[in-house]
Structure 1
């Protein structure tokens, strides 16, 4: 049985919206989003169990779980398939690939959670469009949203980089450049006065591109 809060809507959520609360069964027991308050969460959905792209993703997520945990981020999966299908699939992944998936995989057979997050329209005839990823911060605010088509697998390394970049940007009050990796240079906001523009220091003289170390 799934329970969402009154925030449930069919429109797609936006960055900086509060993440809709929910409570549902999962492969590790009853899960509530409120249980994760104070932690970062990578909340991701997939179209169906026992499918090749989703299998490759869950293997990669399971292998990267400790890397996410090292930066204070928990993994939370979702599918419209039922709990018993989830259990059978994850057991088969362990048997076939030697990889144990021990983070929660939530069931959503009524599609209530998927619809609350705008993953699919209330009139959608199937769950085929459900492949979305939400980065939720410790206050329960959505900080990033990433969508992929059903036939293209997500990059777990890129999602980990995204979480780390969000955390560093928040902590340091700066932006991250293209391809930023942990320990790399950060970007200051552009100068807004003639004095600031004239005082630009760094590898370039461009007032709109100011780097500083992390």
Structure 2
């Protein structure tokens, strides 16, 4: 059975480009964007690794630590990082897991035999400061991830946690949020004194501020 939203992200000890880490200790108190890529020295992966590095400030201001992974060695990662920095005009500073024995990739079910028996697909795990998996996404090897969506969903999860709200389709920061149906009208009036618009008894919109 695969990992599900709400599960605790499995812990592991592994070598990375930043030295050996214990995942839970390294991640403690932070959100984590944990993502796999098929292989070093490949074109789509180079753009994705570069884009993650380019967005370092965006991840940092959200309290998010990126962590990459592929089934390559530390030495291969370090050589490839030079190419990423050169071609993507950036500096990769986050760690990349060296999972040559596929231990972590198999633990997180990142290897899909229909795509490859040895290389990871493009898996995404958004993990909260309590090590809980809050979102998963899986992309095929030939398609790069949408980093606007990755940041958007992190914003949505953090806004929902902070204000006890749900987020509508295509929500972005500053947009209307939804008061969950589990919140009574009486409680909604207390919790959201700024007011709200009731479209249906189960569909109530309001605004919140960070």
Correspondence 1:73 to 2:64 = yes
Q: Who is 2:166 aligned against?
A: 175
What is the RMSD of the two structures over their aligned residues, measured on CA atoms?
2.3
1:83 aligned residue: 74
In structure 1, distance between residues paired with 2:65 and 2:129 = 11
Question: Counterpart of 2:85?
Answer: 94
SS at the partner of 2:34? Answer: strand
Measured after TM superposition, the shift of residue 120 of structure 1 is 2.4
1:186 corresponding residue in structure 2: 177
Of 100-109 and 21-30, the range deviating more from structure 2:
21-30
Q: Distance in 2 between matches of 1:123 and 1:22?
A: 26
Check if 1:209 corresponds to 2:178. Answer: no
Instruction: Give, in angstroms, the shift of residue 124 of structure 1.
Output: 8.9
Question: Does the CA-based 8 Å contact 2:167-2:178 persist in structure 1?
Answer: yes
- The answer on 1:29 being equivalent to 2:19 is yes
Q: How does 1:1-214 map to 2 (within 5 A)?
A: 11-34=1-24, 35-120=26-111, 126-190=117-181, 202-203=196-197, 205-214=199-208
- Which string of whole-angstrom CA distances, capped at 9 and with x for unpartnered residues, describes residues 32-85 of structure 1? 212211110010000111111111111111111110110111100011011111
Query: Are the aligned partners of 2:105 and 2:120 in contact in 1 as well (CA < 8 Å)?
Result: no
Superposition misfits of 4+ residues, deviation over 3 angstroms: 121-125, 201-205
Runs of at least 5 residues in structure 1 that lack an aligned partner in the other structure: 1-10
TM-score by length of 2: 0.87
Number of aligned residue pairs: give it. Answer: 200
Task: Give the distance between the partners of 2:182 and 2:12, measured in 1 at CA.
Answer: 43
Displacement of 1:205 in angstroms is 3.2
Cα shift at 1:130: 2.3
Of 92-101 and 53-62, deviating more is 92-101
Q: Structure 2: which 5+ runs fail to align? A: 190-194
* Residues 5 and 133 in structure 2, CA contact (< 8 A), matched pair in contact too: yes
Aligned to 2:192: none
Contact 2:168 2:177 in 1 (8 A): yes
Contact map agreement 1:37 1:138 (CA 8 A) in 2:
yes
* Secondary structure of the corresponding residue to residue 205 of structure 1: strand
Name which of structure 1's ranges 20-29 and 120-129 shifts more when overlaid on structure 2: 120-129
